[in-house]
Amino acid sequence: MSVIVITGSAGLIGSAAAEFYIQAGFDVIGIDNDMRRHFFGPTGSVAGNLRRLKNLSGSRYKHYCTDIRDAEAINNIFSSFGENISLIVHTAAQPSHDWAAGDPLTDFTVNANGTLNLLEAMRKYCPDGVFIFTSTNKVYGDRPNKLPLVELETRWEIDPLHPYRQGIPENMPVDGCTHSLFGTSKLAADLLVQEYGRYFRQKTCCFRGGVLSGARQSGVEQHGFINYLMKCAVTGTPYTIFGYKGKQVRDVISSSDVVAAIDAFFKNPRPGGEVYNLGGGRASNISVIEAVEIAQEITRKKINCLYNDQHRTGDHIWYISDTQKFSSHYPEWRITKNVRVIMEEIFAENKNRWYSDICWPL
């Protein structure tokens, strides 16, 4: 029996990974206590994803409503399955840099201590397994803002002669910049994952994600940019743009392309704590005001945009991932969906529910 453990199994990437591996014939152990409800309120809850996952999976999915900060509970789960655990996909997190500023202790213990608990459980009970961590581009802090950027009509862009013109690589320094408290806690976790790979020679990997998106994300103002924007468009909720004239650029990757990358590493893992920047890259990126325009085209609704001149602490003006390292190691992997396709899928899957929420007829 080959068992896969997924933390944050009811979240966007966690649920997509769970479905993928259940369909591939694996037994999946899900760990998720819906802390998103605590972080973001009822609209941020992943309870709907969990219900769907249980309905689809049958006996191949076993769920634990467990807090990853509880080392004893995590050890009990891992000891139950032992060396049958072949893969740990760690997506559970406090995911918002805005939220972290209000409760740094919870942010750090979830992101850093929780990750350490999982790494130790793997070392004790399934040391030959593969550990994949969904890290973040926020580990680079606001250092990307120091790049030579050029203001265009609808976006910021990097100087076309700069070495980073294809995107930001993994060797960008992380020191001497402002990270936000969220970026700091995720960087601590990121370094732990690397260190367990190098020091203990375990098969660990960090994916430093750009905007991870898809139809099953519970987008809220503090996290889930594309989903929240689409929801605002459908429901008529005002959407606030924070700083940089709305020209800040993000690369956007679909949950299915993230899971494909996870599976590629799982099938052919590299020891030593690999790090990969993972995002839409040059194939799928967008500025905030460009995203507003596309959202209006897709929904055929005008968005009530508000503007706050104060940008978020540690926010990036321009961030596009250079995915060349991962592509060179796993040439079969590629981006299959661009940002417009992702937005269309979000609208198609959620519009009835969102319309129903506000009692609008279709």
CA distance 69 to 67: 5
Is residue 28 very low, low, confident or very high in pLDDT (cuts 50, 70, 90)? very high
The model's pLDDT over 121-175, given as tens digits with 9 standing for 90+, comes to 999 999 999 999 999 999 999 999 999 999 999 999 999 999 999 999 999 999 9
Q: What is the pLDDT of residue 1?
A: 64
CA distance 310 to 299: 28
Put simply, whether the predicted model's pTM sits higher than 0.85 gets the answer: yes
Q: What is the mean pLDDT of residues 188-204?
A: 97
The fraction of the chain above a pLDDT of 70, given in percent, is: 98
- Is the separation of the CB atoms in 15 and 97 below 8 Å? no
CA distance 187 to 61: 31
Q: What is the pLDDT of residue 48?
A: 86
The model's pLDDT over 206-249, given as tens digits with 9 standing for 90+, comes to 999 999 999 888 777 777 789 999 999 999 999 999 999 999 99
Is residue 50 very low, low, confident or very high in pLDDT (cuts 50, 70, 90)? confident
The model's pLDDT over 64-73, given as tens digits with 9 standing for 90+, comes to 999 999 999 9
Mean pLDDT score of the chain, rounded to an integer?
Answer: 94
The model's pLDDT over 174-192, given as tens digits with 9 standing for 90+, comes to 999 999 999 999 999 999 9
Q: What is the mean pLDDT of residues 343-356?
A: 89
The model's pLDDT over 73-127, given as tens digits with 9 standing for 90+, comes to 999 999 999 999 999 999 999 988 888 999 999 999 999 999 999 999 999 999 9
CA distance 331 to 3: 27
CA distance 230 to 239: 10
Q: What is the mean pLDDT of residues 316-342?
A: 97
Does 3.40.50.720 match the CATH number of domain 3-357? Answer: yes
Q: What is the pLDDT of residue 362?
A: 42
Q: What is the pLDDT of residue 357?
A: 63
Contacts of 164 (CB under 8 A, 6+ apart): 147, 158, 172, 322
Between 354 and 347, name the one with better pLDDT: 347
Side-chain-side CA neighbours of 210 within 13 Å: the count stands at: 32
Is residue 354 very low, low, confident or very high in pLDDT (cuts 50, 70, 90)? confident
Q: What is the pLDDT of residue 360?
A: 43
* Domain parsing of the chain, residue ranges: 3-357
